[in-house]
Amino acid sequence: MRKRATHAADEADVNITPLLDIVFILLIFFIVTATFLREQGIDVRTPEDTPPEERTVPPPALVLAVQEDGFVRVNGVRVIDPGSVKPVVQEFVAREPQGVVLVSAAPESESGVAVEVMDQALDGGAGAVSLALQKQQE
| Per-residue three-class SS string for 41-107 | CCCCCCCCCCCCCCCCCCCCEEEEEECCCCCEEECCCEEECHHHHHHHHHHHHHHCCCCEEEEEECC
Rounded CA-CA distance 68/77 in Å is 16
pLDDT tens-digit readout, 79-106: 998 888 999 999 999 998 888 899 998 8
3-state secondary structure of 121: helix
pLDDT tens-digit readout, 30-82: 988 888 777 777 766 666 765 666 777 788 889 999 988 989 999 888 899 88
pTM above 0.75, yes or no: no
Rounded CA-CA distance 138/132 in Å is 18
Predicted confidence (pLDDT) at residue 112 exceeds the cutoff of 90:
no
Residue type, 34: A
Rounded CA-CA distance 28/4 in Å is 48
